[in-house]
Structure 1
Amino acid sequence: MTTTRITAADDTCDDEGPGTDAPLLLLVESNTTGTGRQFAQRARACGAEPVLLATDPARYPYAAEDGLRTVVVDTADGDALWAAVTALAADARIAGALSSSEYYVATAADLARRLGLAGPSADAVRACRDKSAQRRTLAGAGVPVPRFHVAGDVAEALAAARSLDGPVVVKPVQGSGSLGVRLCRDGDEVAEHVRGLLAATVNERGLSAPGVVLVEEYLTGREFSVEVFGDEAVVTVAKHVGAPPVFVETGHDVPALLPAVQAAALVDSAVRAVTALGLGWGAAHVELRLDGDVARVIEVNPRLAGGMIPELVRRALGVDLVGAQVRAALGGPVGLAGTADAAGAASIRFLTAAAESVLTDVTAAEEAARAVAGVVDTAVYRPAGTVVAPAEDFRGRVGHVITAGATPDRTAEAADTALAHGLATALAAVVPTGAAT
């Protein structure tokens, strides 16, 4: 296992920007929300020129808005991607390769290996992204996980559900952002959901989808994540999840307030999971549920957390996880010591619709949210007049509010208030066509 060097150094770069002969940091695709833009910003602050390699750069509006250098290439075609990288290397030194997207972390790791640069084990990342292989590895290493089965057809899934004797969670073995994750309470629901998952031959990025699903026991304990960097836990995050049958993340609190025994169990399970999977370079986002005082690993993501968690960690602790990931990719030491001016705690709540709704006065809603003490950021992602449906996964979130303050209980209360009495006022029920007014 390759361990990222963690030092007590200042965790910011010089912020002088790249020079004319700056080395390149290759960014293979990006996530569509959250930290994608920040990866490029941190690269520039560290004196490197970010270069986005993407099949369709227009998928990421920030690239054009920020004047990001882009190379159009089929990132699913290994030969084409390598040819593009070789062409770049003919004119400039390539110093690192990264991806902020779940779907391309293994591709970026492969590039880093071929270039002789810093990065995680591509084989470990690839195996980790397959949740069935991940679960088998963790169970074999004695890391607590839910009971589970892997199924390749409806009959196998139904047999798995019967053996687990209760409601089960059915999910694709690859994916991100709760896509395709669903609670199934009986055989009919299992069969219907499995048929839908197995009918998809490609995922939402157009990449080939494996023809198997994961069927696991439904754990009802509280959900958390542990953000790991290298082989050390940075912080534990309390997660808020919407009502079943879907599992949309509706908020986070940093740091989580927990009894010492449970806090230790979460960190122990998370670090053991990262070690068992052969990771230990850069960031890993480990999701867990408490089962009594046992912390069971739901999944390990070999990348930074989504859901604006890195931004919460920066505001609460003064630790810049995005910058740390960029510096690690560039081969430098990584400083994860917090800053003295950090708030101490931070929370986020996401705006979702309980029923089909239309966004009305977005500006007034944002202003009302910002009027709540402790609010440091708020946004609605879509313009007024947009009709929105109840969220099935992260794509159904239509806004957020972030708060910062001295303690997690205060920031959580402020975020709840700003969401309910601020952002949520932007949602109005859709009146069916022809209904009386």
Structure 2
Amino acid sequence: MQMYLLALNPTDSVTEGFLPAARRLGLAVTVLTDTPAAHRAVGGDAYAGVEVLECDVRDFRAVVSRVSAHRRPDAVFSNSDHLQAQTALAAAYFGLPAKDWRAALRTKDKAEMRRCLAAADLPAGVAVRAAEVPAGQDPATVLASADIPFPCVVKPREGVASEDVVLVGEHAELIARCAEIRSRRPGEALVVEEFLPGTLHTLETLGDGAVRRVLGGFRTRLSAPPYFIEERLTWEPGLPAAAVAEVLAQLDALGVGFGACHTEFVLSDGRARVVEVNYRAIGDQCDLLLADLLAVPLFEWILRVHLGERLPADPWPAPAATGCLSYPYARTPGTLTAAPGPEDLDVDGVRLAYRPLRAIGTRRPVHHTNRDLLGVVRALGPDRPAVDRAVDAFVAARTWEITP
């Protein structure tokens, strides 16, 4: 069977998750990408036997043309935030299982997501007040009549990884932040929305078109305001049933149900209010930990639903372990001059895996986003105190040096 995988830059989700899963399923894989050299340069055997072809994957018409002129597809798939609508349209063109392209568009476009949820029949207090600042329009003029309370959050309408997402406290600061973001992103639309106080969580789901399963979720610890860098994600098996139901109702309103979905929401005063919906599997190695926690072939199941198969009907056992991910990150600009290399350890029954995300000798500014991450510590253990102790001790015993 032939699978086409659409991608931009290489990611751990693809190289360590989906490509090995496709190999185990016996699939012939063709990666379509606008950066073929980057994929061909990935070391190890991740791309062994994988065909890599250049394609303008941001244009669904180019994807359809490339696939049509090559080999008949059995699945068209992507785990990229940026390519869900294009993938859905291409898969639908060939009559293959696919996400609804309209749902993919709604979740990628944060302004459209807010409009859709505001118009839906949801409980009072769930919808989030928001306003779009279209490209080329003056933020002061657009926001003059917007009913957005302070503090509020400004973000790119189609951004990812907390890039240029900033908390602001008053009107003048908001206008200044809009100008600052636009200086880096000319021609992009922005969204301004009310800040949601409370605890930040994720909900991971997987659907086959008929049934949607809740896989679980993480609690997210963020950096200090005004930025939103993810510092640690901890497995949280006990999410309130009412909160899960509220999140699922919001996903239903958006039309989300097929394939993997990673939803971020804030829990406050018993209400679950969606921050954003990423219509793909969770990333930054959380998906690798999730597969270990659930002890199921998660990546294979995700691919199988795109091949038209149903999810297993049997109940999934509750995870017997717990886990977390911790992300050391750069606080200052400069060159990374010292950092630990990859490690795999067993500490008092806790399995630890550390993987660098930035090479020594690399010089970078500070972005105040996940781009600043230096590495990821992935831990799986019998209980949360043991996992936390092992991760904290690992990070404390190692050094990451940034030289100005």
TM-score (norm 1): 0.81
1:179 aligns with 2:163: yes
Partner of 1:415: 391
Q: Which of 223, 238, 245 is residue 242 of structure 1 equivalent to?
A: 223
How far 1:26 moved relative to its partner?
A: 0.4
Partner of 1:167: 151
Partner of 2:205: 228
How far 1:226 moved relative to its partner?
A: 0.4
Asked if structure 2 preserves the Cα contact closer than 8 Å seen for 1:351 and 1:397, the reply is yes
Partner of 1:45: 24
Partner of 2:375: 399
Asked if structure 2 preserves the Cα contact closer than 8 Å seen for 1:253 and 1:346, the reply is yes
How far 1:31 moved relative to its partner?
A: 5.3
How far 1:389 moved relative to its partner?
A: 4.7
Paired-residue identity, %: 27
In the aligned structure 2, how far is the partner of 1:336 from the partner of 1:352?
Answer: 41
How far 1:247 moved relative to its partner?
A: 0.7
How far 1:199 moved relative to its partner?
A: 5.0
Asked if structure 2 preserves the Cα contact closer than 8 Å seen for 1:238 and 1:256, the reply is no
**CA offsets 1:191-230 (integer angstroms, 9 cap, x no match):** 122124445667xxxxxx6x43211111221100000112
In the aligned structure 2, how far is the partner of 1:319 from the partner of 1:336?
Answer: 13
Q: What SS class does the counterpart of residue 164 from structure 1 fall into?
A: coil
Partner of 1:26: 4
Q: Which of 391, 414, 428 is residue 401 of structure 2 equivalent to?
A: 428
Which moves more between the two structures, 241-250 or 23-32? 23-32
Q: What SS class does the counterpart of residue 70 from structure 2 fall into?
A: helix
Partner of 1:16: none
Partner of 2:14: 36
Which moves more between the two structures, 401-410 or 378-387? 378-387
How far 1:393 moved relative to its partner?
A: 1.3
In the aligned structure 2, how far is the partner of 1:389 from the partner of 1:228?
Answer: 35
Asked if structure 2 preserves the Cα contact closer than 8 Å seen for 1:274 and 1:284, the reply is no
Asked if structure 2 preserves the Cα contact closer than 8 Å seen for 1:173 and 1:214, the reply is yes
Partner of 1:127: 106
Asked if structure 2 preserves the Cα contact closer than 8 Å seen for 1:158 and 1:190, the reply is no
Partner of 2:234: 253
Q: Which of 230, 244, 258 is residue 281 of structure 1 equivalent to?
A: 258
**Structure 1 counterpart of 2:102, which letter?**
D
Q: What SS class does the counterpart of residue 324 from structure 1 fall into?
A: helix
Q: What SS class does the counterpart of residue 299 from structure 2 fall into?
A: helix
How far 1:276 moved relative to its partner?
A: 0.8
Specify which structure has the bigger relative contact order, considering alpha-carbon pairs within 8 angstroms and separated by 6 or more residues.
Answer: 1
Asked if structure 1 preserves the Cα contact closer than 8 Å seen for 2:7 and 2:79, the reply is yes
In the aligned structure 1, how far is the partner of 2:391 from the partner of 2:88?
Answer: 37
In the aligned structure 2, how far is the partner of 1:337 from the partner of 1:403?
Answer: 28
**CA offsets 1:403-423 (integer angstroms, 9 cap, x no match):** 11122343233223322333x
**Structure 2 counterpart of 1:254, which letter?**
W
How far 1:45 moved relative to its partner?
A: 1.1
TM-score (norm 2): 0.87
How far 1:175 moved relative to its partner?
A: 1.9
In the aligned structure 2, how far is the partner of 1:366 from the partner of 1:290?
Answer: 35
Structure 1 unaligned runs (5+)? 1-22, 203-208, 433-437
Partner of 2:304: 327
**Structure 1 counterpart of 2:253, which letter?**
A
How far 1:42 moved relative to its partner?
A: 1.1
Q: What SS class does the counterpart of residue 327 from structure 2 fall into?
A: strand
Measured on the aligned residues, the alpha-carbon RMSD in Å equals: 2.7
How far 1:138 moved relative to its partner?
A: 1.4
Structure 2 unaligned runs (5+)? none
In the aligned structure 2, how far is the partner of 1:48 from the partner of 1:26?
Answer: 10
**Structure 2 counterpart of 1:212, which letter?**
A
**Structure 1 counterpart of 2:226, which letter?**
P
Query: Relative to 1, partners in 2 of residues 1:112 and 1:63: Cα closer, same or farther, differing over 3 Å?
Result: farther
How far 1:78 moved relative to its partner?
A: 3.7
1:193 aligns with 2:177: yes
Q: Which of 116, 131, 140 is residue 149 of structure 1 equivalent to?
A: 131
Partner of 2:63: 81
**Structure 1 counterpart of 2:115, which letter?**
R
